[in-house]
Structure 1
Amino acid sequence: MEIVLVPAFWLNARAWEQVTPTIEAAGHHTHPLTLPGLEAVSAPRAGIGVAEHVAAITAAVDAAGDRGARDVVLVGHSGGGPLANAALDARPDRVARIVFVDSAPLPPGGVIPSGLEPVDGEVALPAWDDFEDEDLVGLDDELRAAFRRDAVPEPGDVVTGAIELRDDARRRAVPATVIACEFPEADLRRWVASGEDFCRELGALDRYDVVELPTGHWPMFTRPADLGAAIAEAAAR
């Protein structure tokens, strides 16, 4: 399978460097993405919003594998999950499965939940004290220093922009996997059953499964090989 890897806020293709070897060892091809405006701290971010990021992911889907086959697995981490889901909406005939890493799809018109406000058109990586303790499990001082060194400000219009979706039936028919890091499967199923807002679109999918990978919000740093194995297993289904 062709595995397109969509990073979360502040990250680019480098975030997947320790994850891809495990996926490729399982026989898949990986395509880690750097989305527009995330190339470097010095990169221009003006005029880059949700549409530009979704277009970049969609182009990666088009470029991967055989365009006549359903041979792409889309993987989105955190805020990259709803963006990947929007690309799935654009190419439901190319994607065999979508994988949400500590993430979930949004309904049409949804905004990626972050509680963050842009400053001068961008959002920098917040101080660690601004995160919940559950987010930071496994992220020791060395990993935090490396993350902050490599972090790139997120384009503000991506943080505040709405997700546009059009093909509900075909998008929701594509099988999904949630790799749950900060919460167990039982909690997620309960939230879906009770109609919690952030799980409503997940509950509308035709089918999804859950893989527990207990750690903090950035498993590509804290458990990279295990994350790679979970993605490879999902792709093999």
Structure 2
Amino acid sequence: MALRAKTKLGFIDGSIKRSTSHKVDYLNWEKADSMVMACIINSANPNLHGSISRAATARDVWLDLEERFAQTNAPRIHQLWCSLCLMEQEPYTSVIEFYTKFKTLIDELNEQQPLPECTCRASKELSQREEDHRVHLFLGSLDNERFAHVKATIINTDTLPSLRRTFNFILREKTRFTAEKERNNKVESGSAFYSFRTSKQKGRDGSKLKCDHCGKVGHTKSKCFELVGYPC
């Protein structure tokens, strides 16, 4: 990325050739090539400096590193696929956190297994199929209790949305679910408070009653134990 930002990527991919036509051009090329070599060496592990610092050009340094480290990492690919297939959203994990973790694994898998570059129709269909696979993996790993409705809506569409749009749908459903839950909690709290106040009010009203026979408060003459008898 740093080399691309400085338009120096051609020194490592071979597109910028060494100039031999003019001395000034060669000096400029040599200066830029040395800068790229220094950038690579400073970015590499210090243990590698002894084996790459004596290379003649930045291209030689890059080819040396590529031959040693640019290998297909089959165990890592296997691990990524296992992690994606076995992922499940934990109850305490937010949708944003879960999507970030899922997208990180997907991006790394794409780096390990990039699609072949092609502009034909078959390539576009293959790319769409890969995107559909990601959407199915993401939906399958979400909490079914909270997102069953929106998951069914997305799956039943004629053309599946992209992974980003799917995440947007899920996020909106999460917002709706949270708002509905808060509203229900407020209703339940209000009902409980009303019941408590009603019971308390009844207690206060009962304490104002006074018996005309015995003169005690809390009951009337018709319920006075001295007249109707005490319970056994």
TM-score with structure 2 setting the length? 0.21
TM norm structure 1 = 0.21
Relative to total residues, which structure has the larger helix share, 1 or 2? Answer: 2
Larger radius of gyration: 2
Which structure features the higher share of strand residues? 1
The one of the two structures with greater contact order (alpha-carbon pairs below 8 A, sep at least 6) is: 1
